[in-house]
Amino acid sequence: MGKMAVNIQYVVVRDGVEKMTFASKKEADAYDKMLDLADNLSEWLAQAPLTLEEGQREALSFYLAEQKESLGRLLRGASVASLVDASPTEPAGEESIGETLVA
């Protein structure tokens, strides 16, 4: 008989829908927090004095949540050029969300 491997997977589920599967709890938790932020941003943008279709608002909210480090630096006065010049592919000390996805 062949050897059996045990694989632990962490699945992020929202409203009964599997959103993403990760190999580590840390990555799954980070993704879940990012989804929480995206939800909050979407609610906030819904109150804005501009017209966005729901899909546009959700896409924008998700993008802003993914880019929260850069957005925070912009809000503190950094220029876009400084973000591009100093932007590592991953924030210092953090793994990229979704880097170790499990199919």
pTM for this structure?
Answer: 0.70
Cα separation, 98 vs 89, in Å, equals: 13
Backbone conformation region of residue 77, classed left if phi is above 0, alpha if psi is from -120 to 50, else beta: left
Structure tokens at 47: 């109150």
Residue 35 has pLDDT above 50, yes or no: yes
Torsion angle defined by CA atoms of residues 36, 38, 44 and 45, in that order, rounded to the nearest 10 degrees: -160
Cα separation, 33 vs 42, in Å, equals: 14
Cα separation, 82 vs 51, in Å, equals: 30
Structure tokens at 98: 């979704």
What local confidence, expressed as pLDDT, does residue 14 receive? 87
Q: What is the pLDDT of residues 39-85, one digit of tens each?
A: 999 999 999 999 999 999 999 999 999 999 999 999 999 898 888 87
Report the SS3 class of residue 77: coil
Of all residues in the chain, what percent carry a pLDDT higher than 90?
A: 59
Residue 38 has pLDDT above 80, yes or no: yes
Residue 101 has pLDDT above 90, yes or no: no
What local confidence, expressed as pLDDT, does residue 98 receive? 42
What local confidence, expressed as pLDDT, does residue 86 receive? 63
Let me know the angle formed at the C-alpha of 33 by 25 and 23, rounded to the nearest 5 degrees. Answer: 20
Of all residues in the chain, what percent carry a pLDDT higher than 70?
A: 82
